[in-house]
C-alpha cells in the first residue's frame, strides 16, 4: 500500500453500514491531515441493493475523486467481491467478511485478507458492528491513518449517541485490528489462486 495515496472501495448491501464505515475512515484521514474524498454510490434497486463508497486519501492534492483501479476493496458480501475483485490493482488487497463469504478461488496477484467480521461483532453483542471490525482491520494495513484516529472519528461522528453505542463501535475497531495483528497478515504472502465468478 502506498505511503502517499490509498484508493479504497467499500462495498456491501444496505444494512452493512458501508456509508458509516466510509465516513469514519474519511474523518480519520482528515484528522491525520490528509486530503480526502468520499463518493457514495447507490444501487438502482429500491431495497437491499449493492452500495459502495469510493474513498481516496492522499498526501497530495486530489485531482479526481473517482477510483477505477482501487488499491484495496473491502467487501462485506459475495456480490461485492464479484463486482470489484477484478478491478483491484496488481499487488493490491481484497479484504472480505469471511463470516458471509465462503472461501473462493482468487486472483494470484493480490493480497487476500479474510476477516470473520460478523462473527467478531456478534461476540460483542451487535452484528451490525461488523463494519467497524473491518475498519479496524484496515487500519493495520493503512500507512495514512491509525487505529487511534479511527477511534477518535467514531467519538466525533457518534457524539450524540449514548456512551454504550460509542464504546461498542470502538471495541469492534480494536477487535478487527487485533485480529489482523494476531494472524500476522502484514507479513503474509499473496494468495496464489484465481477467482472465478
- Cβ-count burial of 123 within 10 angstroms (0-12 exposed, 13-18 middle, 19+ buried)? middle
Measure the CA angle with vertex 124, ends 142 and 14; round to 5°: 65
Buried b (16+ CB within 10 A) or exposed e, 104-122: bebbeebbbbbbbbbebbe
The average pLDDT across 157-161 equals 94
Q: How confident is the model at residue 62 (pLDDT cuts 50, 70, 90)?
A: very high
Mean pLDDT of the 6-29 span: 95
* Cβ atoms within 10 Å, residue 18: 25
Rounded to 5 degrees, what are φ and ψ at 122? -60, -35
The alpha carbons of the chain give a radius of gyration, in whole angstroms, of: 15
Q: How far apart (Å, rounded) are the C-alpha atoms in residues 33 and 47?
A: 36
Question: Is pLDDT above 50 for 190?
Answer: no
Q: What is the arithmetic mean of pLDDT over 57-86?
A: 94
**Rounded distance between C-alpha atoms, residue 100 and residue 77, angstroms:** 6
Confidence of residue 45 (pLDDT cuts 50, 70, 90): low
Mean pLDDT, residues 150-166: 96
Question: pLDDT band at 74, cuts 50/70/90?
Answer: very high
State pTM to two decimals: 0.89
Q: What is the mean pLDDT of the chain?
A: 89
Whether residue 186 is predicted with pLDDT greater than 50 in this model: the reply is: no
Average pLDDT value for residue range 90-96: 94
Phi and psi, residue 14, nearest 5°: -55, 135
Amino acid at each position: 500500500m502506498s505511503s502517499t495515496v490509498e484508493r479504497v472501495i467499500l462495498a456491501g448491501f444496505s444494512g452493512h453500514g458501508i456509508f458509516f464505515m466510509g465516513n469514519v475512515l474519511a474523518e480519520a484521514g482528515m484528522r491525520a491531515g490528509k486530503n480526502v474524498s468520499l463518493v457514495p454510490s447507490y444501487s438502482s434497486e429500491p431495497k437491499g441493493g449493492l452500495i459502495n463508497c469510493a474513498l481516496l486519501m492522499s498526501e497530495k492534492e486530489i485531482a479526481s475523486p473517482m477510483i477505477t483501479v482501487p488499491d484495496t476493496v473491502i467487501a462485506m458480501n459475495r456480490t461485492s467481491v464479484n463486482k470489484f475483485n477484478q478491478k483491484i490493482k496488481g499487488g493490491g488487497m481484497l479484504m472480505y467478511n469471511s463470516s458471509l463469504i465462503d472461501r473462493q478461488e482468487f486472483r494470484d496477484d493480490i493480497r487476500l485478507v479474510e476477516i470473520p467480521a460478523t462473527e467478531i461483532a456478534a461476540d460483542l453483542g451487535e452484528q451490525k458492528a461488523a463494519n467497524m471490525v473491518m475498519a479496524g482491520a484496515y487500519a493495520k494495513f493503512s500507512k495514512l491513518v491509525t487505529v487511534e484516529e479511527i477511534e477518535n472519528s467514531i467519538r466525533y461522528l457518534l457524539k450524540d449517541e449514548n456512551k454504550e453505542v460509542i464504546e461498542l463501535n470502538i471495541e469492534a475497531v480494536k477487535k478487527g485490528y487485533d485480529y489482523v495483528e494476531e494472524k500476522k497478515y502484514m507479513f503474509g504472502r499473496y494468495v496464489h489462486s484465481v477467482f472465478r465468478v
